[in-house]
Amino acid sequence: MILSIANQKGGVGKTTTAQALYSGLVLKGFKVLAIDLDPQSNLSTALGADTADGTNTIFDVMSGKVQDIHSAIQQIGDGFILPSNILLSGAEREFVSKMKREELLISQLKNIAEEYDFIIIDTPPSLGILTINAFVASNKIIIPVGADAFSLQGVSQLADTIDTVKEFFPVTIGGILLTRYNNRTCLSQELTKVIENAAVQLNTKVFNSRIRASVSIQEAQAQQMNILDYANNSAQIDYKNFIEEFLKGLNDE
């Protein structure tokens, strides 16, 4: 299964969610490949991948500079990652003239999809060619949404983009994940209701799991540690609950 973690709004825990889901599935014994499709390469850094100049990255794979995708995949512990670096920021310019430019990623993943139980794609906070490639390649899209006053900003536009992709490729919204949640505030509770109503309109669900706001997330990332390995904190518990809920949902389908 290929999953994209996407939201065009930054600061909603997109990369943290991708990292937590990746690490949680690896811990459960699944063979998992993470793909960093964000030029900021935060996921690559968080997982300890090599992103130095001269290293094969997802940009080299999609641009055709690397013929064998395996040569760009790095093993990190029991998992695998296809990293990015700043060169990916030139993707819009590099890919604009390519034939079937929205299928550059899926054309490569077709060669390796059966080698993994899950492929998790961390997308950039935009709706450009990289995100479109991720959607085309994915079976499901998970949308992290921050429980704040700007939580729904851009979600409808994101949904419109997904609907356009669905006309040609089989992809669905797997669910909306509430992040930065504080159940002690009226705002979080009110926004939850708004997001649940929006999910109905998008023909998807809001995961029951809520990722509570936690300073431990920033602390773990500053030390390049996985949130699931960092002490015993609320976000760690919440992400573990989310992973269980996610897997149960797959089994119930």
Q: What is the CATH number of the domain that holds 93?
A: 3.40.50.300
> What is residue 98's predicted lDDT score, i.e. its pLDDT?
78
The runs of H, that is alpha helices, within 96-128 are 104-109
> What is residue 188's predicted lDDT score, i.e. its pLDDT?
65
> What is residue 41's predicted lDDT score, i.e. its pLDDT?
92
**Across-strand partners of 33?**
80, 119
The runs of H, that is alpha helices, within the chain are 14-27, 42-46, 58-63, 91-95, 104-109, 129-137, 155-166, 186-201, 215-222, 234-252
pTM given for the model: 0.91
> What is residue 73's predicted lDDT score, i.e. its pLDDT?
97
Residue numbers of the domain that contains 207: 2-252
The domain total for the chain is 1
Q: What is the pLDDT of residues 189-210, one digit of tens each?
A: 777 777 887 788 778 899 999 9
**Across-strand partners of 74?**
81
> What is residue 152's predicted lDDT score, i.e. its pLDDT?
65
Per-residue pLDDT for the chain (253 aa), expressed as one digit of tens each?
Answer: 999 999 887 778 899 999 999 999 999 999 999 999 999 999 998 898 998 888 999 999 998 889 899 999 999 989 999 999 988 888 878 887 777 888 999 999 998 999 999 999 999 988 888 999 999 999 999 999 887 766 666 677 777 888 888 888 888 889 999 888 777 666 667 777 778 877 887 788 999 999 987 777 777 766 767 778 776 678 888 999 999 999 998 887 7
Tokens (6 digits) for 19 = 């990292």
- Is the alpha carbon torsion for 248, 152, 138, 181 positive or negative? negative
> What is residue 118's predicted lDDT score, i.e. its pLDDT?
98
The answer to whether 83 touches 115, Cβ cutoff 8 Å, is: no
